[in-house]
Amino acid sequence: MHLTISNQTHDDLICRFGTKQGGDHYLLVPSLSDSIPFSPKSTPIWFLGCSQDGSFKEPTAITESVTSVAIKLTMAPGRKWERVTLQGDSPWIIYRNRLSRKHHGLVVFPYRDTSCFLASIPDSVPLSCLMLPGTHETMAFYGWPISQCQYKPLDTQLHAGIRVTDIRLSIIDGRLIAYHGIFPEFTPFADILVTLHNFLTSPSTASETVVVSIKQEDWDTELFPQLVHDEIVASPGGLQMWFLENRIPNLGEVRGKAVMFSRFGSDGCTNGIHPPIWPDSAKEGFEWECDGTLVRTHDWYGIPSFLSIHEKFSLSMEILNPPNFPVPTLSISFTSASSIPLALPPVIARGFGWPKWGLGFEGVNHRVGKWLLSQLSSDNAIRLQNAKVWHMDPDPRIRGWVLMDYYDDPIDAGIVPLLVECNFRGRMAGEEGW
């Protein structure tokens, strides 16, 4: 059995089998993989950082109980990847990746605080050149299995790294309330605004920005825009907390602000980034122009059944690797889908049955995580098993805004860190404002 360990940090690492003081050990330099003959009895595994003088830093250990999950390879064939649970604070995050029955991988990334990851990105970077994790139907907590799309509150989502929110509202008794289709989601727009303000003004997260897509779920086209305006004005921060121009800003312009993305009103009577078109469930996607930026959008949600999950996944990821265009480009991709009765939101996002045990059908989320892990760890290079050590392929350039249902299922806290990591890959000095 072989274990390929990929060091995707910027530091030299020591991987030691056995104990912290003794046992076989391997030097893992940045952007290299090492394929190691491995026995599941070689537990625990220690990862140690090297200081500049070559000495070891304090290690982060994968405990024996976790090793039985991540290293002993006792998982059922259906589970293809997962984030490894580490004890205590760690400068890294580690993923296990099953490459074949007798070949598994560990991928080590630097730990990034998802609550404030934009603090590490230069002000000059346009939002179109970032990977921003998002949630579809951000406030849809009720109406399972037809209307519910999330289950964690907005504040939790924001601290988890969500930076694009999809707020759907209807007018109820003269106030704006979260709605999904025909089902009320009960949260007042005023409460949503308070949560956004608290996050964007907190000292620890004031470096961030949140794109707030607002979509009208009723038909009162005259009153709705006025109510949106009035409730924002009356909220903490008021209009001053919002970026309301119809263009894609640079990050420095919108730190501590919400970016309006309006899917209501008509041209000329609304504020913020305003798509002139939004075809319903366009399978091949659609394009529109926003003040010199080409916006490529994938929002095919009306898939026939769960049998189309793979096609849905493929289309939603392809758009994140755009070809080189002569104009700035923003990719917006919805990984969500829903149709009755064979493609309900929980089925599409999470899959059904027991796919981790090889019994059932993998959902979009699991496939997205596997794809991201493959891209970020240069999985194609890892599969070249004839060489013991080899250089990785160049970092992929994956950019866009990705809106998900049940964003941290079925791999708890697994997908969003991978999306965040995309912001630090494929960068060159002087490119994309970096």
Q: What is the CATH number of the domain that holds 319?
A: 3.20.20.190
User: How far is it, in rounded angstroms, from Cα 271 to Cα 273?
Assistant: 7
Contacts of 73 (CB under 8 A, 6+ apart): 1, 40, 98, 104
Whether residue 153 sits in one domain with residue 50: no
Whether residue 175 sits in one domain with residue 63: no
Which of 92, 110, 128 is the endpoint of a domain? 110
Return the pLDDT at 379.
46
Whether residue 123 sits in one domain with residue 88: no
Whether residue 123 sits in one domain with residue 98: no
Which of 52, 79, 110 is the endpoint of a domain? 110
Q: pTM of the prediction?
A: 0.91
Return the pLDDT at 62.
57
User: How far is it, in rounded angstroms, from Cα 54 to Cα 135?
Assistant: 43
User: How far is it, in rounded angstroms, from Cα 8 to Cα 29?
Assistant: 9
DSSP type of residue 126 = B
CA torsion 230→235→237→241, rounded to 10°?
-50
> Within 10 Å of residue 310's Cβ, how many Cβ atoms?
13
In a domain, 433, yes or no: no
User: How far is it, in rounded angstroms, from Cα 370 to Cα 111?
Assistant: 19
Whether residue 124 sits in one domain with residue 103: no
Whether residue 178 sits in one domain with residue 88: no
Whether residue 149 sits in one domain with residue 106: no
In a domain, 302, yes or no: yes
Whether residue 212 sits in one domain with residue 96: no
Return the pLDDT at 378.
65
In a domain, 248, yes or no: yes
User: How far is it, in rounded angstroms, from Cα 80 to Cα 94?
Assistant: 14
Return the pLDDT at 21.
58
List the domain range (segments joined by +) for residue 336.
117-424
In a domain, 342, yes or no: yes
User: How far is it, in rounded angstroms, from Cα 131 to Cα 252?
Assistant: 16
In a domain, 204, yes or no: yes
Return the pLDDT at 96.
87
Return the pLDDT at 104.
83
The number of domains in the chain is 2
Which of 59, 81, 110 is the endpoint of a domain? 110
Return the pLDDT at 428.
75
Whether residue 354 sits in one domain with residue 240: yes
Query: What SS3 state is found at 254?
Result: helix
Consecutive 10-residue averages of pLDDT for the chain (434 residues):
86 75 75 76 70 57 41 52 80 87 87 97 96 98 94 97 98 95 92 98 98 93 92 97 97 98 77 95 97 97 95 96 85 96 93 75 93 79 40 72 94 92 87 81
Give which of 167, 260, 268, 278 is closest to 209, Cα–Cα: 260
